[in-house]
């Protein structure tokens, strides 16, 4: 039996071609996944900054509300509002109102 040797034509083998194709496909998948991760990171960072600014605004608003509550607990403040806006007086208290007549 005579073995026939085939001449190599200098081309790449099937296995080498398949390995190269697999490498290219895996590289493309990794690059697209990496770009998606970068986009998601940028979106989350922007959302984080937005939430931080909202948190700061809400903290400031809470501070203002607590300050108003403290003022509202002060009896002199409540009394001044009751006298000025609601025209309330203590029992047996007399109020004199002076008005100017513009016709004279």
Alpha carbons 38 and 76: distance in angstroms, whole number: 59
Answer yes or no: is pLDDT of 104 > 60: no
Q: Cβ of 81: how many Cβ atoms within 10 Å?
A: 13
What is the pTM assigned to this prediction? 0.49
Alpha carbons 22 and 29: distance in angstroms, whole number: 11
Q: How confident is the model at residue 9 (pLDDT cuts 50, 70, 90)?
A: low
- Tell me which H or E stretch contains 80: helix 75-86
The vertex-48 CA angle with 46 and 50, nearest 5°, equals 70
Tens digit of each residue's pLDDT (9 = 90 or more) over 51-103: 999 999 999 999 999 988 887 677 787 788 888 888 888 888 887 778 887 76
Q: Where are the domains of the chain?
A: 26-86
């Amino acid at each position: 039996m005579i073995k026939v040797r085939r001449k190599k034509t200098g081309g790449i083998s099937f296995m080498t071609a398949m390995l190269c194709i697999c490498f290219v496909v895996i590289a493309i998948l990794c690059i697209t996944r990496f770009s998606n991760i970068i986009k998601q990171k940028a979106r989350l960072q922007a959302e984080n900054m937005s939430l931080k600014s909202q948190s700061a605004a809400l903290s400031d608003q809470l501070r203002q509300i607590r300050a108003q509550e403290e003022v509202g607990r002060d009896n002199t403040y409540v009394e001044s509002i009751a006298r000025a806006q609601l025209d309330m007086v203590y029992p047996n208290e007399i109020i004199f109102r002076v008005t100017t007549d513009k016709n004279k």
